[in-house]
């Protein structure tokens, strides 16, 4: 027995050998693709000489970014995630602490190195109340911002009036030192 096909039997190949017309089509397609690639490269060189490539209808890396995406990219590149998140908390302060507390206490600043949030209250009674609520608020803020973002809340009472030296103070005066020059 021989392994070669006899007359009328196939050799196991499903596709016939390409004939002259098929070979010509394949060669033409390859030549068109090569010409197109050469033309694209020449067009890009010509555009580069005229002042750079220009954006077309398709998406391109040089296209402008959406404002939100640009801000998020900047925050990530600079490592400002935690301060930006705390800034968001300052904007959402009434939702976090409640309307009652927010009317009387407002966040002033956040120290990123110490992870301390400074809050100013409009009365000593509210300052005392917030000092008692501070551990609960720290837990709520860390739940919102991520563990360890806020270590402590410093509560300040109302600031006293600016100190004045005498009832008849001259505008622009720095006190008795400017008299003796």
More confident residue, 114 or 145: 114
User: What separation, in Å, do the N-terminal and C-terminal C-alpha atoms of the chain show?
Assistant: 127
The most confident of the ranges 52-61, 77-86, 107-116, 166-175 is 107-116
How far apart are alpha carbons 178 and 102 in whole angstroms? Answer: 44
How far apart are alpha carbons 40 and 53 in whole angstroms? Answer: 12
Query: Contact 149/90 with Cβ under 8 angstroms?
Result: no
Counting every residue written for the chain, the total comes to 181
**pLDDT tens digit sequence for 121-133:** 988 899 999 999 8
**pLDDT tens digit sequence for 46-94:** 666 666 556 567 777 677 888 888 888 888 888 877 777 777 777 888 8
Task: Give this prediction's pTM.
Answer: 0.50
Angle at 141 between CA 77 and CA 72, to 5 degrees: 20
More confident residue, 91 or 172: 91
Query: Contact 114/174 with Cβ under 8 angstroms?
Result: no
How far apart are alpha carbons 28 and 32 in whole angstroms? Answer: 6
How far apart are alpha carbons 155 and 123 in whole angstroms? Answer: 11
How far apart are alpha carbons 80 and 73 in whole angstroms? Answer: 10
Q: Is 80 exceeded by the pLDDT of residue 172?
A: no
Residue 111 DSSP SS3: strand
């Amino acid at each position: 027995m021989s392994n070669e096909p006899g007359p009328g039997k196939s050799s196991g190949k499903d596709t016939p050998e390409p004939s002259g017309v098929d070979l010509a089509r394949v060669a033409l397609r390859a030549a068109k693709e090569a010409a197109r690639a050469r033309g694209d490269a020449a067009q890009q060189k010509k555009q580069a000489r005229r002042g750079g490539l220009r954006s077309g209808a398709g998406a391109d890396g040089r296209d402008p970014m959406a404002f939100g995406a640009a801000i998020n990219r900047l925050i990530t590149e600079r490592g400002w995630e935690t301060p930006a998140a705390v800034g968001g908390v300052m904007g959402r302060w009434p939702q976090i602490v409640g309307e009652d507390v927010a009317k009387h206490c407002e966040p002033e600043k956040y120290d990123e190195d110490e992870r301390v949030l400074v809050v100013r209250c409009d009365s000593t009674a509210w300052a005392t109340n917030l000092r008692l609520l501070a551990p609960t608020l720290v837990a709520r803020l860390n739940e919102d911002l991520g563990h360890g973002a806020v270590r402590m809340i410093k509560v300040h009472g109302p600031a006293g009036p600016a100190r004045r030296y005498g009832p008849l103070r001259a505008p622009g005066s720095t006190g008795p030192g400017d008299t003796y020059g």
